[in-house]
A and B are shown apart, each in its own frame.
Chain A
Amino acid sequence: MATENRDAWTRVALALARGASLTPVQLQKTVFLLQELVPDLVRAERYHFKPYKYGPFTADVYTDAERLAFAGLATLAQDPSGYALYSASAQLVDSTNEYLNGIPAEMREFAERLATWTRQQSFLQLVRAIYERFPAYKVNSVIESQ
């Protein structure tokens, strides 16, 4: 199977939310966790995350999400607080489901559980949990870990 463009990770992260909106930190960390903990989920190039103010970050995730929106595969909205909200189109959800049907069931189940867990955490809970598991990304943190 050919290696896909890195935006495959962003597509899967968006699609696993099944149309629900992801905030910037949710999108970044979902992509990061999928890459780190389910590395065989997609055969694609990887994003290069760097430790930024709230843990692993790469602006490329936003760039790719915007491109997906331009292509009609995702939607961008704006939260009243001023940050973007990212969600998958029905087309992206369907096509990703079709792909996920072809991978081992336990891998799919774990990816879904990971994506759900990420959406259920508050901003601070999510960032601190990332720091707990991946302390190397705490180095430039704005917030303290508990």
Chain B
Amino acid sequence: MTLIIGIKCSDGIALGADGAATYVAGGSMLPTIQQNTSKKLRIIGQDMVFGMAGAVGMSQSHHESLQTAIRSTGGKCNYRAQNEAKRKLESLLWANAKDAWDRACIVSRALLQPALDDCEHSTLIACSVGGQAELIQFTGKCSGEYATEELPFVAVGSGQPKADPFLAFVRRILWPDRLPDLSEGVFACLWTLNYVIHADTTINPPVQIVTLRQEAGGCSVQELSAEQLQEHQEHISAREKLLRDGSDAPGPAIPEIEPTT
């Protein structure tokens, strides 16, 4: 089971993911065991981040195809416009998904709906398009949709039903009429992941946070280290305490050294 979050920010894209992989039994899709895997967000080249909720095999195929495509352009996305990027990525992902859907149609004659459910997946790609950081969600049929200023956050995976309302709440409270900046986006990703991990036993740590930062002349990718996430975690705890205790009064100033007489 999976939760991957993407947030469009004023200066880039913030992405977060949980760290558990769930094994399921054959056509029944009944979960069997859960393993804490390492990375659901994959950095591709210098300016693309890929994450997928769905069958691991499909994720591997998409990842490899994206890597090959980006390698052929020197490790950087060379999309010049949104339509071009969407069209090319849809085509690339569909080349993998189509075969799976075709096979599922055949198998579904025997296994019915579960065979088709096995093909369902959702993909998030953050990449540079015309030098701008963009976030695109692709359905199981590989149709793409950009995150916008009006709809800046996306969640995919089994954790989505719990993540979406919490993301909407965070947005309403913290940045109701603007896009967050990248730091705020990271905070929101982490807070949402923390919330869903506590609320859903199938979504588990360790969390992974990756940013695609908008810079002059292009975008750059960074995965945040555990050390960089520590103070964010503490901030989340402080905000929750504030909600509980209801007090945000300023404290005393930093002490001064007293002059010796």
Contact = CB atoms under 8 A, between A and B. Distances in A.
Interface residues of B, number: 31
Contacts of B205: 82
Interface of B is mostly: helix
A129 interface: yes
Contacts of B184: 142
B196 to A, nearest CB: 13
Interface of A is mostly: helix
Nearest to B205: A82
Contacts of B227: 59, 62-63
Q: Which 3 A-B pairs have the closest CB atoms?
A: A125-B251, A123-B238, A24-B230
Interface in B137-190: 183-184, 186-187
Interface string B182-224: 0110110000001000000000010000000000000000000
Given A83-B237, A124-B242, A132 B253 contact: yes
Interface residues of A, number: 41
Interface string B249-260: 111111101101
A95 interface: no
Interface of B: 183-184, 186-187, 194, 205, 225, 227-228, 230-238, 241-242, 248-255, 257-258, 260
A109 B168 CA distance: 49
**Which of A59, A110, A122, A140 has the most chain B CB within a 10 Å cutoff?**
A122
